[in-house]
Amino acid sequence: MGQLDRRQVVAALAAWAQEPVFKVDVKLVRMLATVKNPQGQLVGGLDKSDFTVTDNGVAQEVALFERYTTQPLSVAMLVDRSRSTQRESKYELDAVRRFLKALLAEGNPNDLAALYSFNFEVTLQCNFTRKLERLSAALDKLKSEGATALYDAIYLASDELEHRDGRRVVVVVSDGGDTFSKFDFQKALEGLHRANAVLYAVLVVPVAGDAGRNLRGENALIQLTQWTGGKIFFPALGASLDEAFQSILSDLRTQYLVGYYPKNLPPTKERFHRVKLSVNRPGHTVSARNGYFADAIP
C-alpha cells in the first residue's frame, strides 16, 4: 500500500508538471521627454500629474516619473566621413570636440560617449568612455572618402546602445542622405525604438539652395528625430554649429523620464503601437518617442 502511494504521488507530480503555466509579461514602456512653453523655452518643473499618455488611443497610468532625470547618458556620436563632407570637415570636427568636452564636463559623472564614423562602412573609432583625450585622438584620425551608409550607422549604434543602462542618445553629424546602407529607413527606426534611443541630427548642408541637396535624406532624418523625441538642426558653419550642439545639451539636462505598463489594449495584428505623451498646459509641446514595437519594448 505504501509503495502504491508513492507511485500515485509520483504520477500526480508528473501530471502537475505537464500542466500549462501561463505568465503575464508586461514590460515597462519608457519615454524620455522634453517640454517647451509657447515661447519655445524648456520647461523643467512639471509633476507627474501634468502628463497624460495613450497607447493606441487607450489612456495609460504613469508608473514611472523622474523630473530632471539624472540617469547616466550613453551618447553615440555618429560623424559622416563620406567624400562630400571634406570641405566642412575641420569646422564640424572642432564643433564635435567642443560638444563632447561640454557633455563630459557636467551632468552625471557616469555619462559616457562613443565615436562612430561612417562612409561606405561604419567604424567604431572610440568605445564608450569619459576620457576626452581618447575621443579627441579618434577625431584627429578621421578622413573623408567614399559613400554614405547613414542607416547602417544608426542601426549598429542603436544595437550597441540597447544593452546599456540609463538614457540612450544618438547624435548624427552629416550633410544628409544615404547612398550605401544595407539596412533601410525602417530598420534604422526599429533599431532606435528598440534601444529607446533619442536621435538628434546636425545637418550641415553643403549648399544654401536646393540644388545638390539630398532632400529625401533630409526628410528621412527629420522623421527619425521627430519619432524618437529628438530634433534636427540646420546650422551654418561657425557659431550656429556650436549653438546647435548647445541646444542638444540643454535638452539632455532638462529631460523627463516617463514610463507605463501597457494595459487594457485591444488585440491588434500591428507590431507598432502608437504612443502619445501630452502635458495639460496650454500651448506647451512635448517631444518624445511616438511609439514602440510590441515585441521589443526596452
Whole-angstrom distance, CA of residue 217 vs CA of residue 185: 10
- Whose grid coordinates read 546602407? 181
Beta-bridge partner residues of 230: none
Q: Where are the domains positioned within the chain?
A: 73-252
Can you give the pLDDT at residue 63? 97
The pLDDT of residue 1 is: 44
The predicted structure's pLDDT at residue 116? 98
pLDDT for 15 equals: 47
What is the distance between the alpha carbons of residues 99 and 77, in angstroms, rounded to a whole number? 10
Question: pTM above 0.85?
Answer: yes
Per-residue model confidence as pLDDT tens for the chain (298 residues): 444 455 554 454 444 444 443 333 468 999 999 999 999 999 999 999 999 999 999 999 999 999 988 899 999 999 999 887 776 678 889 999 999 999 999 889 999 999 999 999 999 999 999 999 999 999 999 988 888 999 999 999 999 999 999 999 999 999 888 889 999 999 999 999 999 999 999 998 755 555 556 778 889 999 999 999 999 999 987 789 999 999 999 999 999 999 999 999 998 889 999 999 999 999 999 999 999 998 755 5
The residues, any chain, with a CB within 8 Å of residue 30's CB and separated by 6 or more, are 64, 196, 257, 258, 259, 298
CATH superfamily of 73-252: von Willebrand factor, type A domain (3.40.50.410)
Q: What is the pLDDT of residue 297?
A: 56
What gap in Å lies between CA 55 and CA 32, rounded to an integer? 16
